[in-house]
Structures are given as structure tokens and as C-alpha cells.
């Protein structure tokens, strides 16, 4: 792998906390929850009736052709919006770049579930001839990458990764790897999800994975707290623009951080449960640190996967201790922004990497809200309840998905 340096010059977010980066970040700093009763569908039949919905979203704003917007599943609309915001944020002129060296990697853990549900209902009703001819291209999980490349004619590397809740981190990490090998100068990478739907609520709910704290939604997502009772589903998208340092400096770009490490591993253990000792997650973090050439004590902040599930929170805590050793309890700050956003599934890593980048920029660690009674097995400094001022030079973002897919991203203040 080459020594090419890869920097982040643009960030785009759509989340339950806000429809852009700064509103999302402002809410995180304030410790506000984006969780409320579900409005997209009637939630009454479901055990979990709460979620982190994106509010007042106007997808047509982000498409050149209104017809393309209408033919896009909600997850694609969210993905294109965040990618467009990231591109605008980077101040890249799409007509000035080498389009064959500009690529797109936008993934989704589940894909067009809403489209699939809507069109399948027609089949169940015997209306096969009414099924949309756009069913397949609207529901497949790779289509947001394809659509965004078509929007701007970006003919560089283009693919989508599907690794459940690790999707965004894998997309960004593999884009980084492509660039390190010299196959692109610019990559737009991240993930999106829109699964607050009957299948999503019923499927995760019947697994007993979701919180049923329906009478107190803003306090339902409570990572590392002994009273947690499952995760809260969210929706949204998080996307970054990666550039080679040479490319960014040549055009005088503002650089938010350097992406210096990427870890990837498998638990090879269980369909949905993490390794009980956090072994796979620890190896993943170790690899990111190794790529970055940094020691554990050089890292100030970890944005944890921290889903608010009993097994997940404990196993990640063990993994952090395994990787960071004494530093884990002696200066390392850890928080879960899922306490505010809920779990954005395939979009989670993109939004959480944005939180790391903003922590570096502003010197503020977003809190883990609702941490009233820490689980005795979760005994790190999770920045409970209130944001904290702290200088951050290096931050790590963790994402772990069903199937044992692990991905960690390591970012460093640019110098």
C-alpha cells in the first residue's frame, strides 16, 4: 500500500437530530434526543413504537431531475442528500475534477425496504401487473452509488458494501484503501438507511432487539446503562468526501482531518451476538491503530458502537480495554451518540465519523445521554449526560454489524 495521505474535506449528514451537519452536531453537543413515537406508519401493532425519524426532509432539493427523485427509495433520497451536502461542503467543482478518478461508495445495510414492502403488497393482492417496473432498481442496495455517479458523471471506482451496521465504516475504509493504492483522487463515501417500516419494526422487535420504552422515548436509548432494554432504530445518512492530500492542497481545500487508519475483522462467532470477550472488535481497533502508526495512549476519543443492548455494550467495553489497556481507564474518553440518534444501522458509521471530525474541530466530546445507572461491567468514562470540552487530536469510530462484521476508522487532526 502506498504512502499517499488521504484527507477528509467534506461532510454531509441527515439524521434524527437535523437535516444537515451543523444542526446534527449542535443537537449532539446539547445532548438532545431525536427519538419520538413513530409517525411514518401506524406503530400501534408493534412492541416498539418509537424511533429516530428524519423530520421535514425535502429530497427533491438534492436531485437535478425531479423524476429521478420520485423513482428513488427513501434510503436513496437520504443518501443522495448527504452526498450532495458533503460535495458542496468540500467546495469541489464537479466539473473541474478528473471524473474518471472520482469515485462513489455509498452503501446501505438493508436497502430499499420501503419499496419492497409497497410493491410486494400488490403481489399479495393479486395485482401483479401493477408492480412497478422500477421495483428492482429502486430496492437494490447498490443503487445510491450508481445514481450519485450519474448525477455528476463520476466514472471512477463505484461500488456498494452491505455489512449491516458496519456498512458506512466499511464503505469509507475501502474507499480509503482504493485511494491508497492510487486508483482514485477523490471518493464520496458513506451509507444510508430508511427501515422504520413494518418489516423493520416487526423483524427487529421479534428478535427482542428493540427497546419497548414507548412511554418515554427520549430516554429509551441508553447505552452502557444497567436499565437499557434494547436499541432504538433510526434513519438517515452520513457521507464524507475523501481526497488525496496532494489533490486537496492543489485546490486549496479546507481539511477537517486525515484518515490514517482502517481496521477490519470478523468475529466468526454468531449470527447476531458479538464475541463475548470482544476479541474480533479488539483486533479491528488494533489494525486501525497499526495502520495509523499510533499507540493506544495517543487516542483521546472513541465514538463507540454503543447500541444500548446488553451484550453489545459489555462486549465493546471489553474490546476497548483489550486494545487500549491501561489507557482505557486512564484518560480515554468514550461516548455513544446513538443515545441521541438511535441506531442508524447502515448509516450509523457515517454520522458517527462526522461526530469524531467535529470533536476534533471544536474540542468537544458529545455525551452519552441517559446514562443514569452505569452497568458495573461498563466501567469506562462514557462522558455521561453532558458534553465535555477536551482537545482531540486522534479519534476512533467503531461500527459492528450482524454477522460479526467489524470496522474501525481512525482520524487525526491534520498537520
**Domains of the chain in sequence order:** 6-250 (3.40.47.10), 263-412 (3.40.47.10)
Q: What is the DSSP string of 38-96?
A: --SS--TTSS--EEB---S--GGGG-SSHHHHHTS-HHHHHHHHHHHHHHHHHT--TTT
Q: Sign of torsion, CA 27 317 396 263?
A: negative
List the catalytic residue out of 165, 315, 356, 378.
165
Predicted confidence (pLDDT) per residue in 100-110, tens digit:
999 999 999 99
**pLDDT at res. 221:** 98
Residue 41 CA to residue 38 CA, distance in Å, equals: 7
Residue 147 CA to residue 290 CA, distance in Å, equals: 35
CB 301 within 8 A of CB 320: no
CB 332 within 8 A of CB 324: yes
Residue 300 CA to residue 90 CA, distance in Å, equals: 26
Strand partners, 13: 238
Predicted confidence (pLDDT) per residue in 43-61, tens digit:
999 999 999 999 999 999 9
List the catalytic residue out of 89, 247, 275, 343.
343
How much of the chain, in percent, has pLDDT values that exceed 90?
Answer: 97
CA distances for 59 relative to 171, 188, 204, 330, 371, angstroms: 23, 19, 27, 45, 35
Predicted confidence (pLDDT) per residue in 170-190, tens digit:
999 999 999 999 999 999 999
**pLDDT at res. 1:** 55
Q: Is the pLDDT of residue 211 over 60?
A: yes
Active site residue 305: yes
Active site residue 343: yes
List the catalytic residue out of 170, 291, 305, 405.
305
Strand (E) or helix (H) holding 303: strand 301-303
Active site residue 165: yes
CB 27 within 8 A of CB 13: no
CB 280 within 8 A of CB 318: no
Q: Is the pLDDT of residue 17 over 90?
A: yes
**pLDDT at res. 237:** 98
**pLDDT at res. 2:** 72
**Rg of the chain over CA atoms, in angstroms?**
20
CA distances for 1 relative to 66, 179, 247, 291, 410, angstroms: 42, 10, 18, 10, 17
Calculate the dihedral angle through the C-alpha atoms of 253, 411, 186, 252, rounding to the nearest 10 degrees: 10
Residue 16 CA to residue 238 CA, distance in Å, equals: 12
**pLDDT at res. 151:** 95
According to DSSP, residue 380 is labeled S
Predicted confidence (pLDDT) per residue in 286-337, tens digit:
999 999 999 999 999 999 999 999 999 999 999 999 999 999 999 999 999 9
Q: What is the DSSP string of 365-377?
A: EPPBTT-SSB-TT
Q: Looking at per-residue confidence, does 30 or 64 come out higher?
A: 30
Residue 74 CA to residue 78 CA, distance in Å, equals: 6
Q: In what order do the strands lie in the sheet with 6-14?
A: 102-107, 186-193, 236-244, 6-14, 257-266, 405-412, 394-401, 301-303, 333-335
Predicted confidence (pLDDT) per residue in 324-340, tens digit:
999 999 999 999 999 99
Residue 147 phi/psi, 5° resolution?
A: -65, -45
Amino acid at each position: 500500500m502506498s504512502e499517499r495521505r488521504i484527507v477528509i474535506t467534506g461532510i454531509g449528514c441527515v439524521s434524527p437530530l437535523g437535516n444537515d451537519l451543523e444542526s446534527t452536531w449542535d443537537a449532539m453537543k446539547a445532548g438532545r434526543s431525536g427519538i419520538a413515537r413513530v409517525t411514518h406508519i401506524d406503530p400501534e401493532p408493534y412492541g416498539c413504537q418509537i424511533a429516530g425519524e428524519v423530520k421535514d426532509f425535502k429530497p427533491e432539493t438534492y436531485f437535478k431531475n425531479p423524476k429521478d427523485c420520485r423513482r428513488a427509495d427513501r434510503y436513496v433520497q437520504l443518501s443522495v442528500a448527504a452526498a450532495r451536502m458533503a460535495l458542496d461542503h468540500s467546495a469541489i467543482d464537479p466539473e473541474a475534477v478528473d471524473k474518471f478518478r472520482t469515485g462513489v461508495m455509498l452503501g446501505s445495510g438493508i436497502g430499499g425496504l420501503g419499496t419492497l414492502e409497497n410493491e410486494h403488497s400488490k403481489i399479495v393482492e393479486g395485482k401483479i401487473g401493477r408492480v412497478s417496473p422500477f421495483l428492482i432498481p429502486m430496492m437494490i442496495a447498490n443503487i445510491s452509488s450508481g445514481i450519485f455517479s450519474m448525477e455528476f458523471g463520476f466514472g471512477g471506482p463505484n461500488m456498494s458494501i452491505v455489512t449491516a451496521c458496519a456498512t458506512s465504516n466499511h464503505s469509507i475504509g475501502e474507499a480509503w484503501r482504493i485511494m491508497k493504492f492510487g486508483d482514485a483522487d477523490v471518493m464520496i463515501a458513506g451509507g444510508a438507511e430508511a427501515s422504520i417500516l413494518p418489516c423493520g419494526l416487526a423483524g427487529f422487535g421479534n428478535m427482542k432487539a428493540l427497546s419497548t420504552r414507548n412511554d418515554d422515548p427520549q430516554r429509551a436509548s441508553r447505552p452502557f446503562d444497567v436499565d437499557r432494554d434494547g436499541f432504538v432504530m433510526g434513519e438517515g445518512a452520513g457521507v464524507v468526501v475523501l481526497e488525496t492530500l496532494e489533490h486537496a492542497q492543489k485546490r486549496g481545500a479546507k481539511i477537517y482531518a486525515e484518515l490514517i487508519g482502517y481496521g477490519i475483522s470478523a468475529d466468526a462467532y454468531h449470527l447476531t451476538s458479538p464475541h463475548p470477550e470482544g476479541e474480533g472488535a479488539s483486533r479491528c481497533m488494533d489494525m486501525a491503530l497499526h495502520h495509523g502508526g499510533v499507540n493506544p495512549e495517543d487516542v483521546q476519543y472513541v465514538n463507540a458502537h454503543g447500541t444500548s443492548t446488553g451484550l453489545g455494550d459489555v462486549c465493546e467495553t471489553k474490546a476497548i480495554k483489550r486494545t487500549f489497556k491501561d489507557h482505557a481507564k486512564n484518560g480515554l474518553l468514550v461516548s455513544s451518540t446513538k443515545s441521541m440518534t438511535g441506531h442508524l444501522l447502515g448509516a450509523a458509521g457515517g454520522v458517527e465519523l462526522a461526530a469524531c471530525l467535529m470533536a476534533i474541530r471544536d474540542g468537544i466530546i458529545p455525551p452519552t445521554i441517559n446514562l443514569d445507572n452505569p452497568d458495573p461491567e461498563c466501567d469506562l468514562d462514557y462522558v455521561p449526560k453532558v458534553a465535555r470540552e477536551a482537545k482531540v487530536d486522534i479519534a476512533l469510530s467503531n461500527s459492528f454489524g450482524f454477522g460479526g462484521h467489524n470496522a474501525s476508522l481512525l482520524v487525526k487532526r491534520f498537520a
